[in-house]
Structure 1
Amino acid sequence: MITNDVLRRVRYALQLNDKKMLEIFASVDNAIDENYLHSIMEKEGEENFVFCRDSLLSLFLDGLINEKRGKKEGSSPVILPAKAILSNNDILRKLRIALNFKEDDMLNALASAEFPVSKSELSALFRKRDHRNYKECGDQLLRNFLNGITERFRGTSGKDA
């Protein structure tokens, strides 16, 4: 999934307005202006579309964690190195932390999107990359998880986002 789509779907699912989005970005020392926010919220192919860098999405998710769970004392935002890629597994992990989801919450979100996975499949997504049972999170699984959290927080299908 492209990072713009993830950002747009998270915003829709959690009902975040422009002001709240800008506050989340600012909370991780990455203040952006409203025009840039609108540009990264555009869909691919639209006139003002600007690609959202992986580092920007990572900072936003870190800000969302701070917003939902509280900021850790003495911690500062971690900026991805240049050309580093934020994997779907990383996105899923950060969303899980921000939303304070336990295993059952994750499974329920996926089941509500009609994409059931087993507990062992889910735990494989959160293992370290070099673990023998590690599994890559595919775009379809991430998309369905985002649809599931949209269903949970908005009561509507995430396909509208």
Structure 2
Amino acid sequence: MTNNEVLRLVRSALVLKESHLVKIFALANSNVSANQIAQWLNKDNDSNAKMSDSKLASFLNGLIIHKRGPRDGEQPKPETHLNNNMIFQKLRIALNLKTEEMLNILETVGLEMNKYDLGSYFRKPDNKHYKQCDDETLREFLFGVKLQSNPDADLEE
């Protein structure tokens, strides 16, 4: 899944306007214009409008600050490389979700998982129980978040 798709899905799931996205980026000390966001959100964008990992990390860090407030001390620097597990973890933190809440969200979209399977996504990569989060799991989670916030939502993007 591309970073642009993640941004579109998070925006849709949390019902965020482009102006909100600009403010969320600013919370993470990342200046992004509404025009740049519009290019990233455009499904038919060209290759010049691909969102970098560091920009998506800035957005997710800003989302954490927006939803939970700034943490004490120095704010985290955006990662230069992201994978689905890191995105999943940042969303979990931003939405302040406990394991049971995440399992309920996944269940609403038909993904049956137990707490051990879910926990394997949040382990360090060198842990023997670490599991790589695939695009489908992340996508379904975001659809589940959208459904929870708006039960009548159309899941077709």
The TM-score by the shorter chain falls in which range? over 0.9
* CA distance in 1 between partners of 2:150 and 2:87 (Å): 20
1:112 has 2:111 as partner: no
**Aligned residue in 1 for 2:35:** 35
**Aligned residue in 1 for 2:20:** 20
SS at match of 2:49: coil
* CA distance in 1 between partners of 2:152 and 2:39 (Å): 25
* CA distance in 2 between partners of 1:126 and 1:96 (Å): 10
Aligned residues with identical type, % of pairs: 38
* CA distance in 1 between partners of 2:147 and 2:14 (Å): 10
**Aligned residue in 1 for 2:130:** 134
- Indicate how the Cα distance of structure 1 residues 48 and 126 shifts in structure 2: closer, same or farther if over 3 A, else same: closer
Deviation, structure 1 residue 156: 3.6
CA contact (8 A) 1:10 1:146 kept: yes
**Aligned residue in 2 for 1:8:** 8
- Indicate how the Cα distance of structure 1 residues 87 and 47 shifts in structure 2: closer, same or farther if over 3 A, else same: closer
**Aligned residue in 1 for 2:88:** 92
CA contact (8 A) 1:55 1:80 kept: yes
* CA distance in 2 between partners of 1:62 and 1:87 (Å): 15
1:62 has 2:58 as partner: no
Deviation, structure 1 residue 58: 0.7
**Aligned residue in 2 for 1:153:** 149
CA contact (8 A) 1:29 1:77 kept: no
- Indicate how the Cα distance of structure 1 residues 109 and 158 shifts in structure 2: closer, same or farther if over 3 A, else same: farther
Structure 1 unaligned regions, length at least 5:
none
Deviation, structure 1 residue 32: 0.9
SS at match of 1:160: coil
Deviation, structure 1 residue 66: 0.3
Deviation, structure 1 residue 47: 6.0
- Count residues with an aligned counterpart: 157
* CA distance in 2 between partners of 1:33 and 1:119 (Å): 40
1:75 has 2:74 as partner: yes
- 149-158 vs 4-13, which moves further: 149-158
